[in-house]
Amino acid sequence: MRMAVRESLDRMEGFRTVDRKVPWDLEPTRELLKDQTMPVLFTDLNGGMAAGNLWSERGRVESALGLPRGGLTKALLEAMARPRPVEEVEEDAWTARGSFDLGALPIPKFYPEDGGRYITAGVAIAKLDGKVNVSFHRLMLLGRDRFAIRLVPRHLFTMHRLAQERGEELPIAFAVGLCPSVLLAGAVSTDYEVNELEIASALREIGGLGPLRVRRMGTLQVPVDADYVFEGRLTRETVDEGPFVDISGTYDSVRKQPVFQVDRLHQRRDAILQLVLPGGLEHYNLMGLPREPVILRTVRQVVPRVHAVRLTEGGCCWLHGVISITKNKEGDAMNAAMAAFTGHPSMKQVIVVDEDVDIYDDRQVEWAVATRFQASRGLLVVNNAAGSSLDPSAEGTTSKVAIDATRPLGDAKGFERARLP
């Protein structure tokens, strides 16, 4: 099943169209902020088409991937455990150009203090010594054929450093406008040996969509559904990158980052550039949802019956979480919380609830805290712990809070909610 941006929009229950000329400077952000739960199609953003808020709701992601409500975390966990091969095809839906001006594309500047115009929904694909990496990165526009790319010290950073040590530039393809399976796979934390395209392929097959279809581009395999592919090299040159609004809604700092030299631009006819609003709901989902299976796997090692894990929107889908368990013994809730902090060290607050609480309903979670939690016996504070660099309140270390909002074992009749038969 094809899932370029246009096909994804057409399968959604609805989206809002901005059918007027929209300048690239700040105006796209104003439109996306009007209702972040509603996908938005721009028919003329700096002369091209763009779309945002596509995957700003968990349910929309699950529906697009053929998964039931609440089924994404376990599907991702299965896909990570058992990656599946991609399907290589000869299809070529792109027009390739060696002469182009990146500034003419519908690339916005999102916020006033941003370092420039940014591509925020792109996945980098690289290969070195037989190992493939597919990972999410932001690109800051520098000129007609150059971006600055933000690299954190993970797999692509390692590949780039190894290439530099050999005096080489690292070939990469940067794809935009992708199936959510690729976007999620590009944000998972997995072993250096794992090809994330095969995680995306497995996730699609779990939902009945068939394997991920790719086309060869030099030594790389690129998803054929992409609306844009920027083919080029990570160079040895570095420039100032940033500021940029990160997931907490605050500005990230300026750093020296590598230059991505674009040699060829591939794009579909009537291509639509996907936009992810920095610090918005879609940013939350695409960054946070891939962390949930890691938390689930870690918590299962200490508590056998774990029903669901959720990183909450109020905590930027990064800093706060909720876990649903069935206790075997008292203390299981706190063990689950400590395991969750291990699985996702950036998290600083976790609430543990019983299996009768819908963790995707914030009111039910708060009800559990209100009726099943007492701070004198159900609160644990861990001080001086390593936390997240994305938490502006952290000063080197952070304090983590675990809340046991489960009912006691034994006679729990007074904690049961009234229900109709």
- Mind telling me the catalytic residues? 246
Closest CA to 16 of 64, 47, 49, 52: 52
Please identify which residue in the block is written with the tokens 């029903």.
307
What radius of gyration do the chain's Cα atoms show?
A: 22
Q: Which tokens hold the place of 348? A: 């600083």
Q: Shortest CA distance to 255 belongs to which of 236, 240, 272? A: 240
Q: Give SS3 for 354.
A: strand
Is 233 strand, coil or helix?
A: strand
DSSP string, 242-285: --EE-TTSSEEPPEEEEEEEEEEEEEETT-EEEE--TTSHHHHH
**Among the listed residues 307, 301, 343, 339, the one whose alpha carbon sits nearest the alpha carbon of residue 323:** 307
Structure tokens at 285: 């989902």
Please tell me whether residue 328 adopts helix, strand or coil conformation.
coil
Contacts with 293 (C-beta within 8 Å, 6 or more apart), sequence order: 73, 74, 76, 77, 80, 188, 309
Contact 241, 256 (CB under 8 A): yes
Please, what is the angle between helix 332-343 and helix 292-300, to 10°? Answer: 140
Q: DSSP letter at 338?
A: H
Structure tokens belonging to residue 168: 């080489």
